[in-house]
A = this chain, B = another copy of it.
Amino acid sequence: MNLAQALFSPRSVALVGASGDASKNTARPQRYLQKHGYAGRIFPVNPGRSVVFDLPCFKSVQEIEGKVDHAFIMTENVEGALEDCGRKGVPVASIFSDGFADAGAEGMARQARLVARARELGVRLLGPNSMGMINLTGRVALTVNAILEMESPPAGGASIVSQSGTMLGTVLSRGAARGVGFSKLVSVGNEADIGVGELVEFLAADPETRTIVLFLETVRDAARLAAGARAAHAAGKPVVAYKLGRSALGERLARSHTGALAGEDAALDAYFRDCGILRVDMLETLIEIGPLLAGRRPPNLTRAPRVAVVTTTGGGAASVVDRLGMAGIETATPGSNSPIVDLTMGRKSASYGAVLRELLQFPGCDAVLAVVGSSAQFHPQHAVEPVIEANGGAQRSAKPLAVFLTPQADKSLALLAEAGIAAFRTPEACADAFHAYFAWRTPSKSRNESPVEWPKDIPRKGRLSEFEAMALFAGLGVPIVDRAIASAPDYAHALPYPVALKILAAEVAHKSEAGGVILGIASRKDFEGKAKSLAKKGEPLLVQRMASGLAEAIIGYRDDPVVGPLAMVGAGGILAELYNDVVLRLAPVDEAGALEMIGQVKGFAVLRGYRGLPQGDVQSLARALVALSRLALCAGRPVREAEANPVIVKSDGVVAVDALAVMKEA
């Protein structure tokens, strides 16, 4: 029995701290295991009792006769229970008890000690602060989650890993009401040992799991999750995530709630995209999107997606189509200019099924949306039959199909779920699912490019002087403006005029605002006086040629504490900041990726022939971005943050006129 089996399908479980008081949370696992048909052996452990409900109770795990595959720890003395498990040779323990990383610095230290000891003992941990694991296909309800009060929650092909224990109940309960079932549901708690990434790996290999669903408040181990996502992709299993912390307020809440770094949301977006995880925006999309994805591969579209739509209600279809439009998705109708096929009541010229079959065959669309009106409520069988038939049952259509039902229609939802067709309760979740599906990308190839050597003369700590940063960037292949260091007494240099002068001090970040820059010095005549006025103490100065072009860009690099190295490109000047007009990707990026990023910067319209302006050399800008992003390949990754702002984009070439680099080490 391997770890995944012990975790999901133990043949025996010990319930450490099991209570005989039915009103207590700690009585639940025993009750739920029995209620939901657990076929293995259950061993309550509680030194104060000899019987818990109808089962004999043990003083300790060690006392149990026979093998224990999985212990569920609910006592305050988690450390004692762990020792007990270790002595018994229990391979995995789920810990419900809290007071670890969820409880400040002291709890954090307690958790570190617990994990270290578990490693020594050879016991793997789920939690602490986990609500446990539910295996519906295998009938193992090893959890305190009150959702198991429910009678026979349906089983299905999606498995969910959640950083919120209570949200497992939300998903299970909402799914059950409409016939959407799950296979495994895991509450990871503090992820002290077994984390989301490892669980995704297990689920990628789990034959009962067809899609993997994540409810995330943060990402604690980005590399491991990325590996899990790649394993899932290789196994043909889509991974879809709902992640909180999109707003600054949500991020703060996630941090206070998980005791973990929350990470910047845009960085996480880049990360999810890179490892092929779909991201949805709405909670119920998580429940509903499964059948749209199951068995499919990322569409990797490079143009606007097109959806063909058939409906029996104009308003109902419009409520989805309007949102598709907001997400940049178009509609297409065979042989017609009309945006959708509207078979409104009393005006049916063709049967719904026939139209739907035609749309599913239509090469001009990437997916099909079927909207069904009031009949879905009162005549579910009749209403959804044409949809199920058109989709072709088991040998279903090659084209993704989503159904939106306008009325309250749980029976119709259940019939569609049973037929493996994605059905949506709200127009918003339906559009959200299409958006997530079309944005889905194949995971990037793993990055095994050759490492970059760190230049000998560049410091590996602190903030570099601008001259050093320019040297570093130039070494990577970023075109840098001609420059020199000019020193007292006469600040001689060999650069042609006009030139700019800058103070060299590394500490000054916004030199222009600090009065540390003089631009456009036209001749030697003006130069010396200006140099002396700038260098108040006679210190050396940075001289560089003036450069001009069609537009300014910013390129950047950052080693994010959560997702790792990122490359960034944006409109220059204040646009990047004011309008947040920047695009992030995991670094390093290749030229095709860099060009795609540049294509997403709105402000670069001025480089793309906007209003008859001359075209800028985006190819060279892309190469500069590729070069800077190679900071991710430097041994030891010493750089925390680097930026060239602005990079002047010309019709032929680019040149960085400003450089900033800050190391991780102070």
Contact = CB atoms under 8 A, between A and B. Distances in A.
A314 B164 contact: yes
B176 A374 contact: no
A338 B252 CA distance: 9
Contact of A249 (B322, B345, B581): B322
Contact of A166 (B177, B313, B408): B313
Given A164-B314, A579-B581, A331 B249 contact: yes
Interface in A91-145: 98, 145
Contact of A173 (B149, B377, B606): B377
A146 interface: yes
A48 interface: no
B253 A340 contact: yes
A378 interface: yes
A338 B574 CA distance: 34
A322 B250 contact: yes
Contact of A318 (B253, B323, B581): B253
A537 interface: no
A315 B574 contact: no
Interface string A172-196: 0110110000000000000000000
A324 to B, nearest CB: 7
A540 interface: no
A522 B173 CA distance: 76
B377 A164 contact: no
A298 interface: no
Interface string A317-337: 111011111100111000000
Given A147-B374, A510-B611, A166 B315 contact: yes
A442 to B, nearest CB: 28
Contacts of A317: 253
A351 interface: no
A446 B378 CA distance: 47
A346 interface: yes
A169 interface: yes
A256 B312 CA distance: 16
Contacts of A201: none
Contacts of A283: 319, 426-428
Residue of A252, A317, A340 most packed against chain B (CB within 10 A)? A252
Contact of A513 (B248, B331, B611): B611
Given A146-B375, A282-B426, A253 B407 contact: no
Nearest to A327: B247
Residue of A248, A319, A347, A606 most packed against chain B (CB within 10 A)? A319
A394 interface: no
A207 interface: no
A471 interface: no
Residue of A176, A347, A579, A605 most packed against chain B (CB within 10 A)? A579
A208 interface: no
How many subunits of this chain does the assembly comprise?
2
A244 B407 contact: no
A314 B162 CA distance: 12
Given A326-B247, A408-B177, A610 B166 contact: no
A170 B170 CA distance: 24
Given A322-B244, A513-B611, A407 B169 contact: yes
Contacts of A375: 146
A87 interface: no
A25 interface: yes
B407 A257 contact: no
A321 B162 contact: no
B313 A346 contact: no
A339 B374 contact: no
Contacts of A318: 164, 217, 244, 250, 253-254, 257
Contacts of A579: 575, 579, 581, 602-603
A145 B374 contact: yes
Residue of A322, A345, A605 most packed against chain B (CB within 10 A)? A322
Contacts of A167: 313, 315-316, 319, 406
Contacts of A250: 318, 321-323, 325-326
A282 B581 contact: no
Contacts of A215: 315
Interface in A144-162: 145-147, 149-150, 162
A631 to B, nearest CB: 26
Contact of A315 (B164, B345, B407, B602): B164
Nearest to A612: B513
A321 B147 contact: no
Residue of A174, A254, A314, A317 most packed against chain B (CB within 10 A)? A314
Contacts of A25: 345-346
A249 B309 CA distance: 13
A326 B574 CA distance: 22
A93 to B, nearest CB: 19
Interface in A480-519: 510, 513
A1 interface: no
Nearest to A177: B408
Residue of A147, A283, A313, A324 most packed against chain B (CB within 10 A)? A283
B174 A408 contact: yes
A31 to B, nearest CB: 13
Interface in A364-399: 373-375, 377-378
A284 interface: yes
A163 interface: yes
B173 A345 contact: no
A409 B172 CA distance: 12
A373 B325 contact: no
A438 B162 CA distance: 32
13 contacts: A25-B345, A146-B375, A166-B312, A167-B316, A170-B373, A173-B408, A246-B325, A248-B325, A250-B323, A253-B331, A254-B318, A510-B611, A574-B610
7 A-B pairs with least C-beta separation = A164-B315, A247-B325, A250-B322, A249-B325, A166-B313, A173-B407, A167-B315
